Structure formats: C-alpha cells, structure tokens
Amino acid sequence: MNMPPEEPLGADIDPPSPPSDARGGFSRRAFTGSAVLAAGVSLVGAQTTQAAARGRTRVTGFGSVSTAPHLPPGFTKTFRSRMVTAGGLRQHVVIGGEGPPLLLVHGWPENWYAWRLVMPALARHFTVIAVDQRGIGLTEKPSTGYDSATLANDLAALMTALGHQRFAVVGHDTGLLISYALAADHGPRVARLAVAEVPGPPTFDHSPPLFIDAANNNKLWHIAFNRVDDPLTEQLIRGREEIFFGYEFRIQGGKSLPDHALNYYYDLFSDPEVLRGGMGLYRAWDATLEQNKARALTDLTMPVLGIGGADSYAGMVGAAMKELATDATTVVLPSAGHWVAEQAPRELLAALTEFLAPYRAAAKTR
C-alpha cells in the first residue's frame, strides 16, 4: 500500500479545485437519465474487477474512489474501493493506510466521501476503513435489517472479514447511533469510540418530542418525515433532491459545504434504492429505541469522546455520552456546525489524534 509522506497535521486537507465537479465530470444523473430514475430502476453501477464470489473485490463506478470529485492530492495512491462480503451483506469500503485499524462510519445523507478530508492524515498512523452503511452508496440494499443492532452486526462482520478483531471507531450523525450500538453490543472488540454531532443515541427518555420550538423543529423534522414507512416520502423527494437535501445541509449549522460535495450527495441519493436505503434506519427507529433502552443499563467501558460543532450540538454530545460510559470526554470544535469532518477537518484531526494516541501507542508495543 502506498503511503503519503509525513507532513504537518492537516497539510493535505485543502486540495486545489479541479475544473469539474460531480456533475461537470462523472455525474450519476447524467449517466442514468431522468427516465430511468423515474422508473425506479437502480443503476448505482459498481463494476468489480474480480469475481464477487472471491469475497473481496475492487470496485469502480459512481460512488467509488475512482469517480469521487475533488479528493485530496495523492488520495487514490493510498485508498482503494473494495467490495467485501461479510455477514451475508456485500459492503463497500474505502481502505488505505498502515497501523491499527480505524473504522469510520458516516451519517445521513452522506457516504464514505464525508471523511475524505481527514482520511489521508489518519492513514499515516492507522489502517483507515471508511464504510458505506447498509442501503447507502455501493453497499447492498436489502429491504430489511436497518435497526441499530443489525447495522452494528454488519460492521462487526466486516471487520472480522478484514482480519481485525479489535479496532477503534469514529461515527458521525446516524453513524453515532450505529457506532454506539457496535460498542455496546461488541464491547470487547472496540478499543476506543469517538462519536460526533448527535446529542446521544435516541431512547424513549431522550428523543425530541413531536411539538418543539421552531428552531429545533427546523433541524429535526426530517426524523419524523423519514420514519414514515411508505413510498410517499420517497416520491416527494425524487426529482427534488437538491431542494430536500439542500435544506438539510443548510439548516444544520456552520459554513456551507462546497458545491461539488453537495452535488455529489444529491447525485448519490438520486438513486431510488439509495434513497430508500437511507430511510431504512429511520423506519426502524422503534426497534432501535428498544435496543438502546437495554443498552443503557450497562455503561460502556472503553474510552469515549463526544465531539460537537460549536454552531450545532456543541457540548451536548459529550454530555449525553457521559451518561452512557464510565470514561467519556468532550470536545467542541469552534469552527464547525453539524458536518464536522467537512467544515473543520483540521480541528477534527487534532481531536482524534489526541484521543487515539494511546490506542496507537498500545498497538506499537504488541
């Protein structure tokens, strides 16, 4: 595996902008055509370079590393897209680097690409595994299995298939819910857990009420909307991805993401199966609430870091995790809103570097 040279922390997170973006270059919408999308046909066409039966395959096509826009310099020399069959699910992962394993779990409505700005620096010290959740991106999209326990089992099986019995985890947004479930349900395997930008995993006692103040309602209404288990929600969004998801990216606080990133996510979720898969976690909310009720009875024992953006949930993330873990700390990133890995990559890297230092040091002594 090719490794980037040693550079100061964060030196490679602001790449020069190439002349084309996700739509000016390889656009999924341009590739499939509106008539296909309207018909509800999925053409997230991952092309593998090896037979799927071999379990691990290199993959190209929209949603993979090979077509991702505006990646940091040298990214494709370090990272590769692969399909890994684990736990009965074909999962898309972007892997690179050397060192102890570090699993990155994205939020909604994103995929592995959300971590692109921090991955090269992390790869100098860790084997970085950025996964697409079940139902999203190039990972398989079954009709069931979106409760947090099943989503956590997906990732545990993935890490086993990759040969990693113990690992650290970083989760953002819905990735916080999944990462918490992974740490609670597979505790001996998770060395350290960093979670960002949700004020704790939802429980019956810690969930937003139906009627709340306007400011919070504007940020949280999508949860109730996404939970509606009917094609209605998808029909209302389809063909209006820029309107629906554009509002979501704007309302969550912090500086706007660049157009090339927003267009990439709009294109990604314009696939009907990805759109449906992205709703899966919300439609399984009741099951996850029940699971979290049981999990809350036992504190997490591994070190936990709660990360909040100053313009979003700030210290609420760490405060919530302190109620669920015996060793939890908090960091607030001053220049970030909700999308911390893209709005404040340097600050996030600094926080993760400090938090993960003991994990890295322990791996060196083995």
Is a pLDDT exceeding 80 seen at residue 17?
Answer: no
Is a pLDDT exceeding 70 seen at residue 230?
Answer: yes
Higher-confidence position of 69 and 12: 69
| Residue 326: closest CA among 301, 305, 359, 293 | 301
Residue-wise pLDDT for 47-60, tens only, equals 554 433 344 556 88
pLDDT band at 268 (very low <50, low <70, confident <90, very high): very high
178 with 267: CB under 8 angstroms? Answer: no
Rounded-to-5 percentages of helix, strand, coil across the chain: 40, 15, 40
Q: Is 168 helix (H, G, I), strand (E, B) or coil?
A: strand
Which residue type is seen at 272?
A: P
Residues 6+ away with beta carbon under 8 Å from 354: none
What is the per-residue burial (b if ≥16 Cβ within 10 Å, else e) of 62-98?
bbbbebbbbbbebbeebbbbbbbbbbebbbbbbbbbe
138 with 68: CB under 8 angstroms? Answer: no
Q: What percent of the chain has pLDDT over 90?
A: 78
18 with 26: CB under 8 angstroms? Answer: no
pLDDT of residue 291: 98
Indicate the range of 44-58, 86-100, 132-146 predicted with least confidence. 44-58
Is a pLDDT exceeding 70 seen at residue 201?
Answer: yes
Please state, in angstroms and rounded to a whole number, the distance separating the CA atoms of residues 76 and 97.
11
Please state, in angstroms and rounded to a whole number, the distance separating the CA atoms of residues 111 and 210.
28
| Residue 177: closest CA among 236, 223, 231 | 223
Residues 6+ away with beta carbon under 8 Å from 346: 9, 10, 13
Residue-wise pLDDT for 91-131, tens only, equals 999 999 999 999 999 999 999 999 999 999 999 999 999 99
The CA-CA-CA angle for residues 60, 62, 66, to 5°, reads 45
Length of the chain: 366
Q: Could you give the count of Cα atoms lying within 13 Å of 227 in the half-sphere of its Cβ? A: 13
Q: Supply the angle between the helices 259-268 and 241-251 in degrees, to the nearest 10.
A: 130
Round the average pLDDT of the chain to a whole number and report it: 87
Residues 6+ away with beta carbon under 8 Å from 134: 89, 91, 140, 141, 142, 145, 146, 150, 151, 154, 277, 280
pLDDT of residue 4: 37
37 with 29: CB under 8 angstroms? Answer: yes
Is a pLDDT exceeding 80 seen at residue 31?
Answer: no
**80: its two tokens:** 């590769």
pLDDT band at 2 (very low <50, low <70, confident <90, very high): very low
Q: Which domains does the chain have, with CATH numbers?
A: 46-364 (3.40.50.1820)
Is a pLDDT exceeding 90 seen at residue 69?
Answer: yes
Which residue type is seen at 350?
A: A
pLDDT of residue 46: 56
Average pLDDT over residues 219-239: 96
Say whether pTM exceeds 0.75: yes
Please state, in angstroms and rounded to a whole number, the distance separating the CA atoms of residues 169 and 104.
6
Please state, in angstroms and rounded to a whole number, the distance separating the CA atoms of residues 79 and 72.
11
Residue 67 per-residue DSSP state? G
Higher-confidence position of 171 and 26: 171
pLDDT band at 364 (very low <50, low <70, confident <90, very high): confident
Please state, in angstroms and rounded to a whole number, the distance separating the CA atoms of residues 112 and 116.
7
